[in-house]
Amino acid sequence: MKNEIIGYVGSGQFKKEDAQKLTGINLAFGELHNDGSVTVQGRIDKINLIPRIREWNPNLRIILSMVQAQRDAFTVCCATEEMRRKAAASLAEAAVKYDLDGIDLDWEYPCVPSNGSAVSPDDKHNFTLFCAEIRKALDAIGGKKHYLTIAAGADLYYVNCVELPDLMEYLDYINVMTYDLKCGFHALAGHHTSLFSKNADVFMNSCAQALAVFEAAGVSADRLLMGAAFYSRKWEDLKDDENHGLLVLCPHGGGYGPDYELLVKEYLNKNGYTEYWDEEAQAPYLFNGSTFLSYDNPRSLKAKAEYCKEKGYGGIFYWEHKCDGTGTLLDTLYQAFQS
């Protein structure tokens, strides 16, 4: 894979010019249930738009991204051979029914209970068996190629909780979620999707660092996609006059901030906020004296795209399409990979 631009698309507008700049979209979301069934309608308002999207860009890859309907659905569906076969058959049926190019599994995360999931240590091996069964079911459809991908947590914990590179026998690529690297788990205000790590950061992580972890675990660079954020993270009630809020301890973790479109309208050098650029991290941030905002902008996305091309990574994907109605960020990625 090379120079991929993949957007997670749920609600909100999706236009012809968007389809023509993307190589793929992940429809967010389908739901996997404890009985192995799959539901789509009601979660994705773009499912009925697929025929028109095909007209706009016949080469666009349309993949259904799956989350769990119950907090233990992935664990249950992975646990036995019977359930793996049943769930895999349901996913293949959905691919045929909705004219999809594949399935993306957004399990956050095997073996990891921190995100509210009910998990098991057995998830580690069962996830590999589950992907093998899905791969078999998708291949049995015939006709065009059907892709199987996953969204992966961007740190060592994820690599430790799955079987890499065994999984790559069945997966086409991995969307490494290099955003929320600073989030509600962190009371230290900082970059949530920076390209590079900062030496002074005691919770050091970044896009480059995360992808290197996956490479070290045996995944080839061209099958790794870097994540970009079309939204911000924020830390409030900071008391800092020296560092503009960067790497300052906050009374609480980082919440969700405004989407990029709203940042442009109301925050970028407006209403008391000043925008700064961190050369070391290759990332922007905003500070108004008490609130710190971290996000991607055109400059950081250009840097990410250039880095992906330099290192041979598969490309960039982003969450989420509706967060930038201006189209600026998608156009930035498109132009960066055209050059």
Q: How many Å apart are CA 207 and CA 228, to the nearest integer?
A: 9
Note whether 45 and 11 are within 8 A (CB): yes
Q: How many Å apart are CA 258 and CA 42, to the nearest integer?
A: 25
List beta partners, residue 67. Answer: 31
> Would you call 252 exposed, middle or buried from its count of C-beta atoms within 10 A (0-12, 13-18, 19+)?
exposed
Active site residue 266: no
255-259 vs 274-278, strand pairing mode: unpaired
Backbone angles phi, psi at 54, to 5 degrees: -60, -35
Q: Pick from 326, 320, 335: which is nearest to 3 by CA?
A: 335
Radius of gyration from C-alpha coordinates of the chain: 20
Q: How many Å apart are CA 194 and CA 40, to the nearest integer?
A: 33
Note whether 285 and 192 are within 8 A (CB): no
SS3 at position 229: strand
Set 31, 93, 108, 236: catalytic member: 108
30, 50, 125, 180, 291 from 67: Cα distances, Å: 6, 20, 19, 18, 32
Contacts 24+ apart (CB under 8 A), 274-281: 274/244, 276/244, 276/246, 278/191, 278/194, 278/198, 278/246, 280/196, 280/198, 280/199, 281/191, 281/194, 281/195, 281/196, 281/197, 281/198, 281/206
Active site residues: 108
